[in-house]
Amino acid sequence: MKVGVAREAAPGERRVALVPEALGKLTAAGLEILVEAGAGSGAQIPDEQFVEAGAKVVPTTELYAQSDVILRVQKPTESEAKILRKGQVLIGLLQPLLDPNLMQTLADGGVSAISLDAIPRTLSRAQTMDALSSQANVGGYKAVLLAANAYGRYFPLLTTAAGTAKPANVLILGIGVAGLQAIGTARRLGAVVSAYDVRPETAEQAESLGAKILKLKTTIDATGAGGYARELTAEERAAQQADLNEVIASQDVVITTAQVPGRKPPLLVTADAVHAMKPGSVIVDMAASALGGNCELSKAGETVVTGNLVTILSPENLPATMPIGASQFYARNLSALLLQLIKDGALNLDPADEIAGPVTITHGGEIRSEAVRKLLEPAGGGA
């Protein structure tokens, strides 16, 4: 079976789906690896390194003509999707719920679309395939580095002959995978870290990394299904915002990571809260996207400096800013999934399988994912 690694085309995307270190296990399993020329350039991996690891570097047309399976990081553009042919398999972080029309295009073209963001995350044998976690980890780390870079003071307590610098007070809102990594990274830089989440089970994890749990006046338990949070009610939201407004003003750095599956990210840092912060404070809104973010004043992909001199960073694709590390993790996730799906030299996309079932979004000309089918219903559906 021929497996092709595509060059990413999305603006700013520097990751690559496989790295040379990941090829050994795949070639040992009998796979022939083709790599689109220049696919690793964004991650500083020259074509020769792929060749040395046993791959064949080919031009774009050859990659799409010959590969049985195409590996990517991000979903293809509509025009790239149309190059794919019937029977070909596409694997990547395809975001099927954000772009159901693309899934329809792939299904119509007879392409089997497999999405790593549909991996069952609570299944322990799927943990090595959990690309959402591996990339969120990179994001949480990088968000702290960006914050430290934008903050015009020290993170650690520093005593020098020229005086003493106070440690930065860093607040992490949302203690999922990215939030936990952000806590660990900010602590390693010496900041005083506090953290908050609406799932009480996160408290122990945050404390074990050295964060103090922020206790609001209103206690909210919004534990939802599958380890995620549920959306708050309007009353809970108002109480949470009022409580957070009181706390945020005293923070030097706020990093927000809060998400609710299938919903707009919750608004945690209001404009009033930002206006009450000290000049020089920094906010990194990791949830910012076209849907909105956790901070009322953030603008996805941009840096905003408010009138009271608070810097708000809203990076859209943090993992792509650390492309080598992020690609290494992603390649491990992807090769673990690929090896799991192979049975007797071919891909086995058994709908009843607890991993192959959920990750297969389209197959045999049809959309298998019920959530995607619902979104495509004429009434507009809803996840």
Is residue 121 a contact point for ligand NAD (CB under 6 A)? yes
How many helices, marked H, and strands, marked E, lie in the chain? 13, 19
**Residue labelled with tokens 């609406």:** 198
Is residue 336 a contact point for ligand NAD (CB under 6 A)? no
Pick the catalytic residue from 49, 104, 133, 340.
Answer: 133
Distances (CA, A) of 71 to 90, 161, 227: 6, 55, 28
Is residue 114 a contact point for ligand NAD (CB under 6 A)? no
Buried/exposed code over 274-302 (b: 16+ C-beta within 10 A; e: otherwise) = bebbeeebbbbbbbbbeebbbbbbbeeee
Is residue 365 a contact point for ligand NAD (CB under 6 A)? no
Pick the catalytic residue from 95, 99, 108, 121.
Answer: 121
Range in contact with ligand NAD (rule: CB under 6 A) among 58-66, 196-204, 209-217, 340-348: 196-204
Here the tokens at position 18 are 């496989």
- Is residue 130 annotated as part of the catalytic site, yes or no? yes
Residue 126 corresponds to which amino acid?
A: A
Is residue 127 a contact point for ligand NAD (CB under 6 A)? yes
Q: Which residue is nearest to ligand NAD (CB)?
A: 176
- Is residue 67 annotated as part of the catalytic site, yes or no? no
Is residue 288 a contact point for ligand NAD (CB under 6 A)? no
- DSSP state for residue 68 in the 8-state scheme: S
Buried/exposed code over 107-119 (b: 16+ C-beta within 10 A; e: otherwise) = bebbbbbbbbbbb
Site track 131-160 with ligand NAD (rule: CB under 6 A), x = hit = -xx--x------------------------
**Residue labelled with tokens 């796979």:** 31
- Is residue 228 annotated as part of the catalytic site, yes or no? yes
Strand ranges for the chain from DSSP E? 2-5, 32-36, 56-58, 69-74, 89-93, 112-115, 158-160, 163-165, 169-173, 192-196, 212-213, 253-256, 282-285, 303-305, 311-313, 342-343, 346-347, 360-363, 366-367
Is residue 373 a contact point for ligand NAD (CB under 6 A)? no
Rule CB under 6 A: choose which of 177, 214, 334, 375 binds ligand NAD: 177
Is residue 358 a contact point for ligand NAD (CB under 6 A)? no
Range in contact with ligand NAD (rule: CB under 6 A) among 37-45, 121-129, 271-279, 354-362: 121-129
- From the list 104, 76, 100, 77, the residue with the least C-alpha distance to 90 is 76
Q: How large is the angle between the packed helices 131-150 and 323-341, nearest 10 degrees? A: 170
Range in contact with ligand NAD (rule: CB under 6 A) among 32-40, 67-75, 98-106, 195-203: 195-203
Shortest distance (Å) from residue 318 CB to ligand NAD: 13
Is residue 173 a contact point for ligand NAD (CB under 6 A)? yes
Do 157 and 164 contact (CB within 8 A), yes or no?
Answer: yes
- From the list 96, 244, 238, 252, the residue with the least C-alpha distance to 189 is 252
Is residue 175 a contact point for ligand NAD (CB under 6 A)? yes
- From the list 54, 66, 52, the residue with the least C-alpha distance to 6 is 66
Site track 226-245 with ligand NAD (rule: CB under 6 A), x = hit = -xxx--x-------------
Pick the catalytic residue from 68, 108, 154, 228.
Answer: 228
Range in contact with ligand NAD (rule: CB under 6 A) among 103-111, 164-172, 251-259, 372-380: 251-259
Rule CB under 6 A: choose which of 73, 260, 313, 326 binds ligand NAD: 260
Is residue 319 a contact point for ligand NAD (CB under 6 A)? no
Shortest distance (Å) from residue 36 CB to ligand NAD: 30
What gap in Å lies between CA 74 and CA 87, rounded to an integer? 20
- Is residue 332 annotated as part of the catalytic site, yes or no? no
- From the list 18, 32, 62, the residue with the least C-alpha distance to 324 is 18
Q: What is the CA radius of gyration of the chain?
A: 22
Is residue 216 a contact point for ligand NAD (CB under 6 A)? no
Do 314 and 255 contact (CB within 8 A), yes or no?
Answer: no
Is residue 257 a contact point for ligand NAD (CB under 6 A)? yes
Range in contact with ligand NAD (rule: CB under 6 A) among 97-105, 155-163, 255-263, 354-362: 255-263
| 177 or 375: CB nearest ligand NAD | 177
Active site residues: 121, 127, 130, 133, 228
Residues near ligand NAD (CB under 6 A) are 121-122, 127, 130, 132-133, 136, 173-179, 196-199, 202, 227-229, 232, 257-261, 266, 268
